[in-house]
Amino acid sequence: MPLLTLERVEKSFGAVRAVAGVTLSIEAGVLLGIIGPNGAGKTTLFNLIGGDARPDRGAIRFRGADITALPPHQRCRRGIGRSYQIPHPFGGMTVFENLLVAATFGGRLRERAAHPVCLDILERTGLMAKANRLAGALPLLDRKRLELARALASQPALLLLDEIAGGLTEAESAEIVGLIGRIKGQGVAMIWIEHVVHALVAVADRLLVMNAGAALAEGDPQQVLADSEVQRVYLGIEA
């Protein structure tokens, strides 16, 4: 059984059809990359999966249960974690305290049980040396790491990553890709929206291209990128 299933999901804002009948599924341990031009509906699709928006039509199922009408905090507690394109840490709290909040409220761990979990995530994400730093004082790469670490602290089975490589240098992007690859290796399913395509292709199992709210192509990343219609719509290359 797929971990997550979307069945002909639609969402409109007035006359704008942001998501137009998208159907997809993802299994445990699989990374699905999503690309598309600006306005293609990628972020709206994330908002529908995470619960920040509710579809006009269609259904969303997670671990076999219909979660279409559930609010974000209940989806988080069921195992859907999310990072945002612009990191939103609790700036007045330390890095460790940010993780502790995520582990206790999102992951529903007792504080004593949450401590070793948070320490392990700090180690895995390269933030251990900055555990006692205020989150608001971190540079961009570390804020991106913290955004990912907080999502992991909620104990997700599915992780939604929104342009986590955006704004990073080539070397910083490579660090993030390596980290995401290690998380994937631990069995966490991921859906990753990204404009840094080479970073995405380095770890994605499948690639979905969206355009005008609909799925334009989906499948093996290299084959999808070689598709003439994908190149025309996304890369601006005429066949």
- What integer pLDDT is reported at residue 88 of this predicted model? 87
Question: H helices within the chain, ranges in order?
Answer: 42-50, 72-78, 95-101, 111-124, 140-153, 170-185, 197-201, 221-226, 228-230
pTM for the predicted model, two decimal places: 0.92
What is the rounded distance in angstroms from the CA atom of residue 173 to the CA atom of residue 181?
12
Helices 111-124 & 140-153 angle (0-180, nearest 10): 140
Percentage of the chain exceeding pLDDT 70: 98
- Asked if pLDDT for residue 238 goes beyond 60, the answer is no
- What integer pLDDT is reported at residue 166 of this predicted model? 86
Which tokens belong to 230? Answer: 């994908």
What is the rounded distance in angstroms from the CA atom of residue 38 to the CA atom of residue 215?
14
- What is the pLDDT averaged over residues 79-90? 92
- What integer pLDDT is reported at residue 239 of this predicted model? 46
- What is the pLDDT averaged over residues 152-167? 93
Instruction: Find out whether 138 and 165 touch, Cβ atoms under 8 Å.
Output: no
Instruction: Find out whether 223 and 235 touch, Cβ atoms under 8 Å.
Output: no
Domains and CATH numbers, the chain: 1-43+51-79+156-239 (3.40.50.300), 89-155 (no CATH)
**Average per-residue pLDDT in the chain?**
94
Scored b (16 or more CB within 10 A) or e, 145-180 reads bbbbbbbbbbbbbbbbbbbbbbebeeebbebbbebb
Which tens digits make up the pLDDT trace of 167-211? Answer: 888 998 899 899 999 999 999 999 999 988 999 999 999 999 999
- What integer pLDDT is reported at residue 85 of this predicted model? 86
What is the rounded distance in angstroms from the CA atom of residue 188 to the CA atom of residue 182?
10
- Asked if pLDDT for residue 233 goes beyond 80, the answer is yes
Which tens digits make up the pLDDT trace of 17-75? Answer: 999 999 999 999 999 999 999 999 999 999 999 999 999 999 999 999 999 999 999 99
Instruction: Find out whether 196 and 204 touch, Cβ atoms under 8 Å.
Output: no
> How many C-beta neighbours within 10 Å does residue 235 have?
12
- Asked if pLDDT for residue 237 goes beyond 70, the answer is no
Which tens digits make up the pLDDT trace of 108-134? Answer: 999 999 999 999 999 999 999 999 999
In degrees rounded to 5, what are phi and psi of residue 126? 75, 25
